[in-house]
Structures are given as structure tokens and as C-alpha cells.
């Protein structure tokens, strides 16, 4: 029976040429994306070769001396990269725990609001910080946490903490927490969109039936809503883990200073600084960048595999 059904559902075989003739506008629409990927992502990959060279801009890719894995040895035996790696891992862990949960909670809370107008206002308000440029957010954080900033004053006067510029504090885990909280403030609304969308697909019948059976709001939340959106949560978690190594893409560069490199430097900022900072070393930067990409890819594939095994949902 199943065999017959499969035969019925099988689509007629269409050759590539026939498909192209029929759908050529769709293929045309695909061209910009392909060109974009090739020009801006695949061709620049050739630059990876710098990681294995003593690269000099003037000599170029083909003239620079090949040094094998020397740059990787320098990377891991140097003082700063291991620190950057530690910071990246710690910040990623915090981001995927403390920073990951608030958007879910926020989405669940939003789903509990019954007044639609108020719900929309809350949602819109929560999205706004996401559209504020990173440089503005960083400036706000600097102002608020400066020695005479309002948050510093609050911490000093109410909690009796030392009056200081908190961003200049190079003790663990001050900077990490600031960074995570900044991310939460900026991304809680935007990050909740996927969950709000997922919650909206949960059948109202389930809630209705549960309510009839006497389930209260909390029970409906934990027994119906959360399990239903778990695939989405896992998918977002997979994405989050995969992107862990890009931590510090913009805001850390704007927030850190040489005296806080020991707590704020991440693999990304190290890569950037080594390539474009006062002390440049393109080869070392390329080695760091390659390491970051490889680990990021491994993390993405690994977490995707775990997601598929545990929740039967995955990105690919």
C-alpha cells in the first residue's frame, strides 16, 4: 500500500533543460545571489593562503614566502591569542545561556498579553534598540558606565560598589557581563520574533482543551507552548552556537581598550586588530581568521547534528 502511494506521489521526471525553460525567470533571480556569493565569499577565500605565508602586501600572494604552519605556531604560542580564545569561549557560553534565554521568556510573556494593541506596542518598542547603530549603543554604554555615569552612580550609591569606569575594569567577569547585558538590551525584541512566530502557530485547540481540563496559564505555557516551540528554540540555539566565534564583531571593538584586552579581546577582535591595528601582521591575522572559521564551521555542524538527534529538527 505504502509502495503504491509512493508511486502515486512521485513527480514526473523533468530534465534540467526542461526545468530551466519553464522556470528561467526564477533562475535569473538566482543569479545575483550566486554572483554575490562567488564574488564576496568564495573568491576572497583564496586569501586563506596568507595564513601559510610570510605575507607582504607588496609581494602579493604569489611572491610571499611560504612558511607552512609557522603562523599557527606563533598564534598559539603567543601571549594574546590564548587569552582571546578563552574570552571568546567564555563570552560565547554566557551568550548562549544568559543571553539566549531572555528573548524566549520575552516571547512567552508577549504571548500571554491578551490586549492586542498593547501587545503590538510592546513588540514594536522592543524591536527599536535593534535598529540603533552599534556605535551609538556603544557610546550609550560608555556614557552610562563612565565614572560619573548614571548606572555607575546607581551601583555606587545603592549597592555600595566602587566608583569607577566599569568598562575600564579588567577583572573577570565584569566586561563579559556588560557585553552580554548590552546584547540582551539590544536584541531581546528582535531575537523574540522567531519565537513569537512559532508560538502563533501553536494550535489554539490545544490551549482550549488544556484550559477545559483545568490547566492554568503556567501549566499551558510549560506543557504546551514550550514543547511546541522547542524545535525553533533548538534551531536558534544551533545558529547561536555556530556564530559563537564571531563574538565581538562590532561592539567589542568599540568598547575595549588596550588595558582591558585581557578580558575583552576575542578571536574576532584579535583577528581584526592584527590585520588593521597599529601593529599589523596579515599572516597572523589570516591564521587567526582561518582558525575562527574552521572552529565555527565545526561548531555549526556539530550542534546541527546534536539538534537533529535530540529534537529531530535541524538546519540542514
Partner 1 sequence: MKLKTTKKIVSAAMCGALATGLLAGCGAGGGSSSDTSYTMWIYQGADSQYYTEYSDNPVYQYLASKTWGEEEKTIDINFWVPASGTASDSYSTMMGSGDYPDILDMSISDGEKLMYEQGIILDLTDYVQEYMPNYMAYLEAHPEVAVYATTDIDGEEKYLSIITVNDDYPFTYCGYQYRRDWIVKYGTNPQTGEPFTGGYTDENDPDSWEDDVVFPSGGTDPVYISDWEWMFEIFEKAYDDLGIDDSYCISVYYPGYTWTGDLVSCFGGGNFAFYEDADGQIQYGAVTDSARAYLECMNTWYENGWLDPSFNERTSDMFYAIDDTSVRQGKVGMWCGMQSELGGRMDAGDEYTSGIYVAGCELPINDIYGTDACKNVEPNCIMTGQGLNGTGYALTSAAEDKDIPTLLTMIDYLYSEEGALMATLGLNPEQMEETGTTFYSDNGIPDGAYTVQDDGTYLLADAVRNDSGGLWSAASLEKFPHLQMVANVDYGYADTYEHSMELWVKYHNTAQINGTPVTTNMEQDVSDTMSNAQSRLMEYTDMNAVDFIKGNKDINSDADWETWCKALAKYDYQGAIEEIQPYADKYEINPTVE
H or E element that contains 65: strand 65-66
Residue with Cβ nearer partner 1 (50 or 299): 50
Q: Euclidean distance between the first and final Cα of the chain, in Å?
A: 30
**What is the grid cell recorded at 103?**
528573548
d(CA 155, CA 139): 19
Q: Decide: is 298 part of the binding site for partner 1 (CB under 8 A).
A: no
Report yes or no: 141 and 167 within 8 Å, Cβ to Cβ: yes
Contact between 297 and partner 1 (CB under 8 A)?
no
147 contributes a contact to partner 1 by CB under 8 A: yes
Alpha helices in 158-249 (DSSP H): 174-191, 193-200, 204-212, 217-220, 226-242
Q: Looking at residue 54, what DSSP letter applies?
A: E
HEC profile for 137-174? HHHHHHHHHCCCCHHHHHHHHCCCCCCCCHHHCCCCCH
Q: Answer yes or no whether residue 97 interacts with partner 1 by CB under 8 A.
A: no
Contacting residue, 49, 67, 70, 78, with partner 1 by CB under 8 A = 78
Query: CB 206 → partner 1: shortest distance, Å?
Result: 42
What is the x/- site pattern for partner 1, positions 30-69, by CB under 8 A? -xx--xx--x--------------x-xxxxx--x------
**Cis? peptide before 173, omega within 30° of 0:** yes
280 lies in the site for partner 1, by CB under 8 A: yes
Query: Strand 65-66 and strand 53-54: pairing?
Result: antiparallel
Q: Is there binding between residue 296 and partner 1 (CB under 8 A)?
A: no
Residue number, 64 or 88, with CB nearest to partner 1: 64
Among 276, 298, 302, 305, binds partner 1 (CB under 8 A): 276
* Stretch binding partner 1 (CB under 8 A), from 1-9, 108-116, 194-202, 255-263: 255-263
**Shortest spacing between CB 169 and partner 1, in angstroms:** 11
- Establish if 25 lies at the interface with partner 1 (CB under 8 A): yes
- Confirm if 220 and 132 have CB atoms less than 8 A apart: no
Q: Is 240 in the site for partner 1 (CB under 8 A)?
A: no
133 binds partner 1 (CB under 8 A): no
Nearest approach, Cβ of residue 53 and partner 1 (Å) = 12
Render the burial of 76-105: b for 16+ CB within 10 Å, e for the rest.
eeeeebebbbbbbbbbbebbbeebbebbbe
Nearer to partner 1, 225 or 269 (CB): 269
What are the residues binding partner 1 (CB under 8 A)?
A: 24-25, 28-29, 31-32, 35-36, 39, 54, 56-60, 63, 78-80, 147-148, 165, 167-168, 257-259, 261-262, 276, 278-281
Amino acid at each position: 500500500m505504502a509502495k503504491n502511494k509512493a508511486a502515486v506521489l512521485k513527480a514526473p521526471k523533468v530534465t534540467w533543460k526542461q526545468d530551466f525553460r519553464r522556470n528561467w525567470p526564477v533562475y535569473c533571480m538566482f543569479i545575483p545571489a550566486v554572483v554575490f556569493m562567488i564574488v564576496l565569499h568564495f573568491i576572497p577565500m583564496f586569501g586563506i593562503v596568507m595564513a601559510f605565508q610570510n605575507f607582504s602586501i607588496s609581494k602579493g600572494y604569489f611572491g610571499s614566502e611560504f612558511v607552512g604552519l609557522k603562523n599557527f605556531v606563533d598564534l598559539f604560542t603567543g601571549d594574546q591569542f590564548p587569552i582571546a580564545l578563552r574570552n571568546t569561549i567564555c563570552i560565547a557560553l554566557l551568550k548562549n545561556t544568559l543571553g539566549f534565554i531572555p528573548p524566549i521568556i520575552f516571547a512567552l510573556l508577549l504571548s500571554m498579553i491578551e490586549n492586542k494593541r498593547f501587545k503590538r506596542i510592546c513588540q514594536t518598542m522592543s524591536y527599536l534598540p535593534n535598529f540603533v547603530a552599534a556605535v551609538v549603543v556603544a557610546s550609550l554604554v560608555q556614557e552610562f558606565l563612565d565614572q560619573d555615569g548614571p548606572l555607575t552612580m546607581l551601583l555606587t550609591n545603592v549597592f555600595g560598589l566602587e566608583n569607577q569606569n566599569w568598562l575600564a575594569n579588567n577583572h573577570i567577569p565584569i566586561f563579559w557581563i556588560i557585553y552580554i547585558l548590552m546584547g540582551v538590551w539590544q536584541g531581546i525584541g528582535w531575537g523574540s520574533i522567531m519565537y513569537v512566530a512559532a508560538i502563533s502557530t501553536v494550535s489554539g485547540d490545544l490551549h482550549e482543551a488544556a484550559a477545559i481540563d483545568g490547566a492554568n496559564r503556567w501549566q499551558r505555557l510549560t506543557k504546551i507552548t514550550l514543547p511546541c516551540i522547542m524545535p525553533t528554540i533548538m534551531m536558534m540555539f544551533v545558529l547561536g552556537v555556530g556564530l559563537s566565534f564571531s563574538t565581538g564583531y562590532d561592539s567589542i571593538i568599540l568598547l575595549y581598550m588596550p588595558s582591558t584586552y585581557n578580558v575583552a579581546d576575542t578571536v574576532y577582535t584579535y583577528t581584526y586588530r592584527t590585520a588593521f591595528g597599529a601593529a599589523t601582521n596579515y599572516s597572523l591575522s589570516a591564521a587567526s581568521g582561518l582558525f575562527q572559521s574552521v572552529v565555527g564551521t565545526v561548531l555549526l555542524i556539530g550542534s546541527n547534528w546534536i539538534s537533529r538527534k535530540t529534537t529531530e529538527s535541524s538546519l540542514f
